Amino acid sequence: MNHAYFNRILHLLQQRPQQGKRLIGLGAIAFWELWHRVEEQDKITRQRRANRPGRQRQAGGGVDKSANVVSRLLVCLLYLRQQWTMQSLAQMLGCSEATVWNYIHEMLPYLRQALPASLLEQWQQECPGLEREELERWLAELPEGALLVDSWEQPIPRPSDDEEQKQLYSGKQKEHTRKNQAITLPKGTDLVDVVIGEKGPRSDSKLFEQTQSELPEALSFIGDKAYVGRRNTTTPYKKPPRGALTQEQKEFNRSLSQKRVFVEHVIRVIKIFRVAKEVFRMRSRMYKRVIGCVCGLVRLRVQYA
């Protein structure tokens, strides 16, 4: 394992924070905060393994990890941010592809546990028995203004099963995709809710309708023209057939776009992590976990921006 490479990354985070942020997706302060959370998760996991009933292997046995928690975390962040191949990472770090694979898959559950993907998920983790009345009260305490909603599609490899590939083929994108939906605070300062891994052809409107049925009715939203007709949702005016918008309608659309642009910025930050933008190369069962990790990283990145 090439420990000098990890030392260069840590040095880059300290001396040239913007360059380090471009490399792993997080600034220095956010990275150190994440490291403390992941290290705590690692300690809990090791203690649980050591104390589990019927343990056969002596404490300290098994494969000796040649990298500490910081190094393993950096390997995972490099993959999520850059989506380099396992071979590229292995050659760069001086280890085997299997080692890279093991480190990434070891860190992903830690990230998923340490970084909730949304405010709703965070509240549910903190209060497992959260009642709907209490949820409505908490949502009512959010910053004033309508929540912002938008979705994006991510390409995936063509499934080998014929029926499955038909269900995942997006005529709009002309490829097989997964659809994700984000709901943010009015200024895009946090993710309120995310829906991950829906079938690409599913309409934005139908997906949002299902989300609204699970949220308090009093919440108001701002969306684009895909959400016309949804309850408590403000959308731009559509240009009538062979007609034109009035000046007042144009001004309204412009004002609405200035409010809605913040959710576009959040999705742009999510796509900075290339694993959430380019063709998803991991197994399909990993999709929700990986994109959930990215959403958690984005929340941490925005918090320490």
103 and 86, same structural domain?
yes
H or E element at residue 257 = helix 247-272
233 and 143, same structural domain?
yes
Instruction: Answer whether residue 278 is part of any domain.
Output: no
Render pLDDT for 276-294 as a digit per residue (tens, 0 to 9). Answer: 999 999 999 999 999 999 9
Residue 75 predicted with pLDDT over 60 = yes
Q: Where are the beta strands (DSSP E) in the chain?
A: 147-155, 169-170, 175-184, 191-199, 221-222, 233-234
pLDDT of residue 184: 95
294 and 243, same structural domain?
no
231 and 215, same structural domain?
yes
Instruction: Answer whether residue 210 is part of any domain.
Output: yes
Residue type, 275: V
Count of structural domains, the chain: 2
Gap between the Cα atoms of 88 and 78, Å rounded: 11
pTM metric for this prediction: 0.91
First to last CA, the chain: 32
Range(s) of the domain holding residue 23: 1-43+67-114+286-305
Instruction: Answer whether residue 238 is part of any domain.
Output: yes
131 and 267, same structural domain?
yes
228 and 110, same structural domain?
no
Rounded average pLDDT over 14-19: 93
β-strand pairing of 191-199 with 147-155: unpaired
294 and 211, same structural domain?
no
268 and 124, same structural domain?
yes
